[in-house]
Amino acid sequence: MALFGTDGVRGLANGFLTAELAVDLSIAAAHILGELGAFEGHRPKAIVGQDSRASGEFLEAAVVAGLASAGVDVYRVGILPTPAIAHLVAESGADLGVMLSASHNPMPDNGIKFFAKGGGKLDDALEAAIEKHMGESWQRPTGRNVGRVINDDSAAERYIFHLLNSLTMNLNGIKVVVDCANGASSRVAPKTYTRAGAEVIAISHEPDGWNINENCGSTHLENIKAKVLETGADLGIAHDGDADRCLAIDSNGNEVDGDFIMAILAADWQSRGLLKNETIVGTVMSNLGFFKAMEALDINVETTAVGDRYVLEKMLADDFVLGGEQSGHIIMRHYANTGDGLLTALHLMQAIKSSGKSLAELSTVMKRFPQELINVTNVAKEKLSTSAKIKSEIDRHQADLGSSGRILVRASGTESLVRVMVEAQSADLAARIAEELAALVRSELS
């Protein structure tokens, strides 16, 4: 089984993801990048950060040890969002970045995500090479050639400055509730939004090592919906554990997901001449209503596989500047080459202020088609692509739906499950088809 999924290496901390594995991965990454010439002519430098999980403490120590033993100078930046690590790698000219996080996964899990020089994620071929060369014998550097370990205490402030510098106006007059998921954004999100001029009410912003994503954040929206209604806020922003994405809540307590956020930003950027090539990049999981909304605005939509890395690859290949996922990963290449929940939230609030409209009003740019999503667990997801019966049933239902519906059945890239997604003009129809297909997946792949 491949170690790397769609978003790095992820699994049960100290079960699958051990300190030994973290050391081996880090050494192999340093060696592969060195062999490719990334370190030629200078001492290699890496930025290492983490989210608020207790297991991140020993895993960070393992990663730092592995990199330093391979001759890489390591700059420890502490608990910061994943996009902060990407930005700091690019800003500092570092050769490598490492983030210890399992994003929205529950606390027992953790993960290791690598960034290449410039702040982009490693491509599939490079990840495969790292995995292949793990555990190989190597010539250990000694003396002055071993890596040094430096605590970078200014990293958070530099990241906040980058975020604020992307805005063209202050956010005075906007009242926002932010749910930090007791995660990586807990220290910087409330501070950033306050400095931008907003009135900020922070919840779930006191991490203790165990409570990340625990009944809070973008996977548990009940608390922030209630807080928005209780305080009369203009909107709520819910981050996930590593804050590379966000979901929003309007003043009526309604969820505004990544498709709506992309549609709002696309309309805003189009009106200001910022939407290069009149194109936005989505994924196969984007709601059918999003595609129809973009069609109405004469905005082309390019689609990719699920995963913000694939969205970015398409954006870089064809020079597009806006893209993202329904889950709230939004990439704005005018300012960053990775999904950034804080950056997204700031620009969503700026769109609200500049338009003079509420988030609920801006959200009318698209109408969500009823969507049913069922996660089928405990199945052999690797057999999905070879099941003729499942494919036949999908084709039959899709023919019945025609252009008024859509079906997507896919194996998760980060979890052991198969996702069955159906969109239709009615919620009942979507649910019926999804349940039938989920039952078939369960019986065929068990």
Residues with catalytic function: 103
d(CA 141, CA 144): 8
43 phi and psi angles, rounded to 5 deg: -75, 125
d(CA 84, CA 297): 33
What residue type is 320 in one-letter code? F
Of 236, 294, 237, give the one whose Cα is nearest residue 262: 294
346 phi and psi angles, rounded to 5 deg: -60, -45
Of 305, 301, 335, give the one whose Cα is nearest residue 318: 301
How many CA atoms, within 13 angstroms, populate the side-chain half-sphere of residue 99?
Answer: 31
Q: Using CA atoms of 293, 295, 299, 305 in order, give the dihedral in degrees to the nearest 10.
A: 80
* C-alpha triplet 94, 97, 101: angle, nearest 5°: 160
3-state secondary structure of 29: helix
257 CB contacts (<8 Å, ≥6 apart)?
Answer: 247, 326, 327, 328
d(CA 361, CA 104): 29
What residue type is 341 in one-letter code? G
Q: For residues 338 and 82, is the Cβ–Cβ distance under 8 A?
A: yes
Q: For residues 379 and 441, is the Cβ–Cβ distance under 8 A?
A: yes
**Angstrom distances, CA of residue 249 to CA of 81, 220, 232, 260, 274:** 21, 12, 12, 11, 25
